[in-house]
Structure 1
């Protein structure tokens, strides 16, 4: 009798846990490497100290923002997948679906940023758009931090309901609206001088892309 020996392979199938841990590690790195900045950042919604200190557009793609941007991508990708799962349009445990959402979201944001830069240079409003993008990054990565534990709880606890999803989406839209109002308050003199181009920018790159995404999702 011949005994066939096969090596036992231990493989974690919980890919979501690994990604959540990696995202948490990024937050810890940001907190450790930029402790003073992080402490100011977490008070972003109640204090304007952070925006006053780091208002220069050179801060847009530094290490701190890149770390939080990656966390933001993870948070929103999971939330989108949970919403799709709740409405029967996907499966929350499908790692391939998460990969597609994460990749699509990354390409969308970076492509939108590149187009914005081209338009800003064309219409000579580069300074305005760079500072506006910095404010958007600040607030939207902040939203990603808030959404991170919510997505984790919803993923493992099956707490997703119509009411909860609507409340979360409504809160996200409200914070985005506050971002625009906050920016207009700070740079109102500069914006008024180039009001036509700024409105054109908002319609073309801040409203139209999301409308078309919504249209394609509901249409499909």
Structure 2
């Protein structure tokens, strides 16, 4: 009997990663039912961050599971976006997936280190940890949008730019709601230290994003 080799194509790889991410989020939901229920209404009710920003913050398996879910789905989404906007017939899945996954992980890690350093220097570690938890929770949540978009782009409407634009708009909207919530809660601190707030935005929000975009472009 002659052996037949079968190469794993991009759809097979995407299916495997999507199933893996869905299994992961199902396990998280199974072990953290109440927390997951609060998490699912995060964009319309910040009860989740109010309760859990003081309880272990980012050192929980729940947060870690959502972080992995985010990395898996955003990396797949990046590949599907790149595939939709390129004229190549065969777009290398592994190349884009690993590039974006590594870049996103490096970006998040760099931001975390910079924010922790800033918290240590200005002796506001507690506030910085709370801020990091809030922003990361919203960013992780927006991965649900990416996951749904991945399913549509991979199996129902391949290369649909409308789906991509809609998903990007929802992802941006979710994260803008996080910024609005943070500014609303901390408006007294921001007003009293407005220059520090501007420096924070430039050094810890905008600068890492520019470096990340330059890395991907390169």
Instruction: Please classify the TM superposition score into its range, dividing by the shorter chain length.
Output: 0.7 to 0.9
Greater relative contact order (CA < 8 Å, ≥ 6 in sequence): 2
Equivalent positions of 1:96-107 (< 5 A) are 96-107=95-106
Check if 1:48 corresponds to 2:52.
no
Stretch deviating more after TM superposition (200-209 or 18-27):
200-209
Q: CA deviation at 1:10?
A: 7.3
Which residue does the alignment assign to 2:125?
126
Stretch deviating more after TM superposition (127-136 or 162-171):
162-171
Cα gap change, 1:67/1:40 in structure 2, threshold over 3 Å: closer, same or farther? Answer: same
Q: Is the 8 A contact 1:128 1:191 kept in 2?
A: no
- Which digits, 9 at most, give the CA deviation of each residue in 1:164-184, with x for residues without a partner? 323322322222222111011
Which of these residues, 57, 63, 66, is aligned with residue 64 of structure 2? 66
**TM-score after normalising by structure 1:** 0.85
Which residue does the alignment assign to 2:156?
157
Q: CA deviation at 1:154?
A: 0.7
Distance 1:6 1:104 in 2: 42
Distance 2:202 2:60 in 1: 28
Cα gap change, 1:80/1:89 in structure 2, threshold over 3 Å: closer, same or farther? Answer: farther
- Which digits, 9 at most, give the CA deviation of each residue in 1:189-208, with x for residues without a partner? 33444433232111112123
Stretch deviating more after TM superposition (132-141 or 207-216):
207-216
Superposed CA RMSD: 2.6
Q: Structure 1, unaligned stretches of length 5 or more?
A: none
- Which digits, 9 at most, give the CA deviation of each residue in 1:88-124, with x for residues without a partner? 1775562232122212211221122112211221233
Equivalent positions of 1:9-158 (< 5 A) are 13=9, 14-56=12-54, 58-88=56-86, 94-158=93-157
Q: Is the 8 A contact 1:30 1:64 kept in 2?
A: yes
Cα gap change, 1:188/1:207 in structure 2, threshold over 3 Å: closer, same or farther? Answer: same
Of the two, which has the highest radius of gyration?
Answer: 1
Stretch deviating more after TM superposition (98-107 or 84-93):
84-93
Distance 2:209 2:162 in 1: 22
Q: Structure 2, unaligned stretches of length 5 or more?
A: none
Which residue does the alignment assign to 2:186?
187
**TM-score after normalising by structure 2:** 0.85
Distance 2:3 2:160 in 1: 44
Cα gap change, 1:177/1:106 in structure 2, threshold over 3 Å: closer, same or farther? Answer: same
- Which digits, 9 at most, give the CA deviation of each residue in 1:61-100, with x for residues without a partner? 3100100110101111111111111121775562232122
Residues paired across the two proteins, number: 215
